[in-house]
A and B are shown apart, each in its own frame.
Chain A
Amino acid sequence: MRASRALPRLTLAHLRRGKEGALRALLLLCALSALAVVAAVVALFVYESLLFFRTVPLSDFLGGTRWAPIHEPAGYGILPLIGATLVITAIALTVAVPLGFLAALFLAAYAPPHLRAWLKPVLEMLAGVPTVVYGFFALRFVTPFLQRFLPVGFWNGLSAGLVMGVMITPYMASLSDDVLYAVPRSLWEAGYALGARRPTVLLGVVVPAAFSGIGAAFVLALTRAVGETMIVALAAGRTPAWPPNPLRPLLPLTTAMVNIATGDHEAGALIWSHLFAIGLLLFLVTFGLNALSHRVIRRVRGRFA
C-alpha cells in the first residue's frame, strides 16, 4: 500500500503530457526520415562501389576510355560517359543560362506586378512538364529539323542538349528571379537617387548584389542538367563514344544507368556494382553542388533580410 502511494498519481495532465511527448517524438522521427534516406544512399552506394573497386581500380573506372560492361573482355572506363554528360550539359546551359537570366531580369525589373504574378506560376508549371515529353520532342521534331542543315544522326547529343536547355530555362528564370527580387528596394532607390536609369541600376547595382545567388541558381541548373535522364535516354542514343562529338550519338552517365538497369543481368554480377559506382559519382557531384548552392542562396537571402 505504502509503496503504491509513493508512486506519482496519473492524472489527465500527465496523460496529456505523455501524448504530447509521444507526438513530438513521432514528428521528430518523420523529420529524421530525410537523414535516413541520405544515410541509406551513402551507405548502400559506398558499400556496392567498394565491391566494384575491389575488382576494377579507380583509375580504370575514371580514366578508362572504353565502356563496354557486357562485352568480353569488359571495359568499365566511364570517361566516354562523363564526356557525353559534360558536352550535353554545356549545350543545355548555353541555351538555358542566358535565356533564363534575361527572363529573370525582365521579371524582376520590368514586368508589371500583375504580369509577374501570372508568369511565376506559369514558369513553375513549365518546370513541371514531365521530361519524357521534352525527350519525345527532341527525338521526333528537333532532330529531323537539325538534319536539314547539319550532318547529325538520328540520335545525337546536340538535339538532346538544346531541348534540355529549353527545359531548364524556366527553372533558371524562376530561381534567378527569386534572387533578384530578394534585393531590397532601398538598393534600387539608392541607385535611382544617383540619377541612374533603370538598366544601369539593374546591371550596375542589383545584379552585382545578387551575383552569388545567381551563381547558385546556375549551379542548380547545372545539377539538373547532369542528372536529367529521359531526354538523353530518348534523343542522345545508346552508343558510348570517345572523344564525344555532339553531332553523333552520345551515352551520358544517366542513360548508362538506365541501360544497365533495364538490361537482363545475373544477380550479383559485377555490372550491378558498376551501376552503383556510377550512381555514387552522380550522387557525390550533384549532392555536393546542391548543398553548396543552397548555402549560398540562404546566405544571400539572410544578408538582405
Chain B
Amino acid sequence: MKGAAGAWERAVVVGAFLALPLALFTLGVMLVVTALQAGLWTNMHALEAAGLVLTTRSLNLPDGTTLPYVAAAQVREGSAAAALGIARGDVLVEAGGRAVDRPLAAWSSLAALPGRTLEVPLRWVPRAEVLLGTLQVRWEEGQARVVLAAPAPLAMGQGLHPGDILLGVNGTPVTGTRQAWEALVTAARTGAVPAELTVRRGEVSLVLLFDPRREGELPVERNVWRAWARFLTRIGDPRYPEQAGLLPALLGSLGVVLVMALVAFPLGISAAVYLEEYARTSRLTALLELLVASLAGLPSAVLGLLGLEIFARAFQLGRSILAGGFTLSVLILPLVIITSREALRTVPKTLREAALSVGATPWQTVRYHVLPYALPGVLTGVVLSLARALGEAAPLLLLGAFLYVNYAPQSLRDTFTVVPIQIFDWATRPQDGYAVVAACAILVLLVLVLLLNALAILLRARFQRRWAE
C-alpha cells in the first residue's frame, strides 16, 4: 500500500520534471521548423530576381493518375532566365542537379548549393512550338494524326523532318498536338529520356531518339538582406508568392496598434488609477473588478463582433483602420487595467501618506508621487498589451478586415489588413511558395512580439530592483 503510493508520487515528480522541458521542446521545434521554411525565401527571391517565377501544374496520365510538374509562370524580359531561352509556359524538370516536381524542390535545390553567386544548372522542356515547331492535325482512317508541318530547329537538329507524322512517344500513342507535348513532358519528368518517338515518314515507320530537355546554367545572385528588404518594403503581387510583400500588412498593423494605443492606454490607466487610488471597496468596485477580469478572458472573436456592430456599422467607420483600432482597444482595455492596477498596488502606502501629510491633494499625490513610482510597472503592462494587440487576428477578421490588400493604406479611414491576417491568408493557400512567405511573415511577427516581451521583462526587472531598495 505504502509502496504503491510512493511509486505514484515518484511518477508525478518525474512527470513534473519532464513536463516543462517537453512543452518548451515542442515550441522550440515549432520555431526551428518555421525558421527553416522561411529560410527558403532567399532562394525563392534569388530565382525570381534572375527572372523566373514558378508555378505548379499537373498532367493527367493515360492510366488515370496525375503527374505534377513545375512551369515558368512568368519570365521577366531582359532577365538572365530570358537570356537563357526560358519562356513562359516552359517546364522545369531539373534544377541544381535534382529532379523538380514542385517549386519547393527547385528552391531547396538552390538552398543546397553553396556561395552567394551561383551558376544553377537547369533542365527544362520548352513549349510545344519551340520544341517541335508548327504542328497540324490530320484525320486518317477515322484517327487524328499529328503532323510536323514545320519542325522547329531543335527538332530538326534531332532528326525530325517536315511532314513527319508523330505516332507515339515511348510507346504511348499520340492523337493530339497538346498531347504530343505532354507526352514529352511526362517522359522528361519521369526520367524516360531520351524519349523514343515513333514517326511515320512517307510509307516508313521510324523510331527516333529525341531529348525534349534543354540545358543551361542560370546565373543567380543570392542575397539574404536584399531578399528580406524587398519582402518588407513592397506591396507585392497577389498572383505569385515570389513577388509577395508585407508592406500593406505592416502599415495596417502599425495603424491599428497606434489607434488602439491612443484609446486604450489613457482609458485603461485612468480606470486603474480610479479603482486603486480613489474608489473605496464597494459593491461597484467589486463588480468592476469582476467584469474586467472576465472581459480579459472573453474570446477575442466575440469582441470583434462588438466592433463590427458598433464601430463599423453604428459609427459608420466601415472596415477602416480606425474601426480596427477601436475594436482592439476594447480587447486590450482589461489587460491594461489589470497590469496597471498591479503596478499601482506595489507603490508603498507610506509614499501616499507622506504626500498627503504635507498637504498634497489626492490628484497631486497620484500625479507627482504614485504614478512616477509605478511608471515602470505600468509601462510593462503597456508593452505587453502592444505585443498582444500586434498578434490578434480574430477580432479584426470578424470586423471584416480584408485578407489581402494590394495598396499601402494612406489614412486612418482606409481599409486594411494586418500581419496576422496576412499570415492566415497565405497559410490557407495551397501553393508551396505561400507556406514559405507565411513562415517569413511569422518570423517578422514573432521578432516584433518577442522584442516587446523582452522589453517588458527588462522593465519589470528594473521595477523590482527599485522596489527592493
Interface residues of A (CB under 8 A from B): 16, 19-20, 23-24, 26-28, 30-35, 37-38, 40-41, 44-45, 48, 98-103, 105-107, 109-110, 119, 121-122, 124-126, 128-137, 139-141, 166, 169-170, 173, 199-200, 203, 220, 223-224, 226-230, 233-234, 254, 257-258, 261-262, 275-276, 279, 282-283, 286-287, 290-291, 294-295
Q: Does B30 contact A (CB under 8 A)?
A: yes
Chain A residues within an 8 Å CB radius of B293 = 290-291, 294
A290 and B427 contact, Cβ closer than 8 Å, known pairs A109-B16, A110-B16, A137-B33: no
A203 touches B9 (CB 8 A): yes
B18 touches A102 (CB 8 A): yes
Whole-angstrom distance between the alpha carbons of A295 and B291 in the complex?
11
B333 touches A34 (CB 8 A): yes
A254 and B301 contact, Cβ closer than 8 Å, known pairs A110-B17, A141-B33, A261-B398: yes
Q: Does B257 contact A (CB under 8 A)?
A: no
B299 touches A227 (CB 8 A): yes
**Among B295, B305, B428, B457, contact of A121 (Cβ-Cβ < 8 Å):** B457
Whole-angstrom distance between the alpha carbons of A42 and B330 in the complex?
14
CB pairs A–B below 8 angstroms (30 shown): A16-B361, A23-B363, A33-B333, A37-B333, A41-B303, A44-B310, A48-B309, A99-B22, A103-B19, A105-B13, A105-B16, A107-B20, A125-B453, A128-B388, A132-B391, A133-B442, A139-B427, A141-B30, A173-B23, A199-B12, A220-B297, A226-B299, A228-B299, A229-B299, A230-B420, A257-B301, A258-B398, A279-B301, A282-B301, A290-B294
Whole-angstrom distance between the alpha carbons of A103 and B14 in the complex?
11
Q: Does B61 contact A (CB under 8 A)?
A: no
Chain B residues within an 8 Å CB radius of A233 = 394, 397, 424
A258 touches B420 (CB 8 A): no
Whole-angstrom distance between the alpha carbons of A257 and B454 in the complex?
34
Q: Which residue of A lies closest to B269 (CB)?
A: A30
A234 and B424 contact, Cβ closer than 8 Å, known pairs A31-B271, A166-B26, A291-B294: yes
**Among A126, A136, A173, A262, contact of B34 (Cβ-Cβ < 8 Å):** A136
Residues 156-195 of chain B, each 1 if its beta carbon lies under 8 Å from chain A, else 0: 0000000000000000000000000000000000000000
B10 touches A199 (CB 8 A): yes
A31 and B288 contact, Cβ closer than 8 Å, known pairs A106-B20, A234-B427: yes
Min Cβ gap B385→A in Å is 10
Count A/B pairs, Cβ under 8 Å. Answer: 256
Chain B residues within an 8 Å CB radius of A38 = 291, 294-295
Q: Which of B73-99 contact A (CB under 8 A)?
A: none
Q: Which of B340-398 contact A (CB under 8 A)?
A: 361-363, 384, 387-388, 390-394, 397-398
Whole-angstrom distance between the alpha carbons of A105 and B400 in the complex?
43
Whole-angstrom distance between the alpha carbons of A254 and B398 in the complex?
10
Q: Which of B426-445 contact A (CB under 8 A)?
A: 427-428, 435, 438-439, 442, 445
- Size range of the interface on B? 35 or more
Whole-angstrom distance between the alpha carbons of A173 and B361 in the complex?
43
A27 touches B420 (CB 8 A): no
A287 touches B391 (CB 8 A): no
A136 and B438 contact, Cβ closer than 8 Å, known pairs A20-B361, A99-B23, A230-B420: yes
Q: A109-B16, A130-B445, A286-B302 are in contact. List 8 more A-B contacts (CB 8 A).
A: A24-B274, A24-B362, A28-B279, A40-B310, A199-B12, A229-B397, A254-B301, A294-B293
Q: Which of A16, A44, A119, A224 has the most CB of B within 10 A?
A: A44
Whole-angstrom distance between the alpha carbons of A283 and B304 in the complex?
12
B interface secondary structure, majority: helix
Q: Which residue of A lies closest to B297 (CB)?
A: A290
Q: Does B227 contact A (CB under 8 A)?
A: no
A41 touches B12 (CB 8 A): no
Whole-angstrom distance between the alpha carbons of A102 and B20 in the complex?
8
Chain A residues within an 8 Å CB radius of B424 = 132, 135, 230, 233-234
Whole-angstrom distance between the alpha carbons of A133 and B24 in the complex?
15
Chain A residues within an 8 Å CB radius of B428 = 139, 234
A103 touches B23 (CB 8 A): yes
B391 touches A27 (CB 8 A): no
8 closest A-B pairs by beta carbon, nearest first, are A227-B299, A130-B391, A102-B19, A30-B270, A27-B274, A229-B394, A199-B9, A290-B294
A27 touches B278 (CB 8 A): yes
Q: Which of B33, B278, B299, B445 has the most CB of A within 10 A?
A: B299
B393 touches A132 (CB 8 A): yes
A106 touches B445 (CB 8 A): no
Chain B residues within an 8 Å CB radius of A290 = 293-294, 296-298
Q: Which residue of B lies closest to A142 (CB)?
A: B30
Q: Which residue of A lies closest to B26 (CB)?
A: A166
A128 and B453 contact, Cβ closer than 8 Å, known pairs A220-B297, A234-B428, A294-B293: yes
Whole-angstrom distance between the alpha carbons of A254 and B203 in the complex?
71
Min Cβ gap B437→A in Å is 11
B397 touches A258 (CB 8 A): yes
Q: Does B450 contact A (CB under 8 A)?
A: yes
A128 and B299 contact, Cβ closer than 8 Å, known pairs A33-B267, A119-B20, A230-B424: no
A20 and B363 contact, Cβ closer than 8 Å, known pairs A35-B291, A128-B449, A286-B299: yes
Whole-angstrom distance between the alpha carbons of A108 and B24 in the complex?
17
Chain A residues within an 8 Å CB radius of B299 = 223, 226-229, 254, 282-283, 286
Chain B residues within an 8 Å CB radius of A220 = 297
Residues 260-293 of chain B, each 1 if its beta carbon lies under 8 Å from chain A, else 0: 0000001110110111001100000001101111
Chain A residues within an 8 Å CB radius of B294 = 38, 287, 290-291, 294
Chain A residues within an 8 Å CB radius of B298 = 227, 283, 286-287, 290
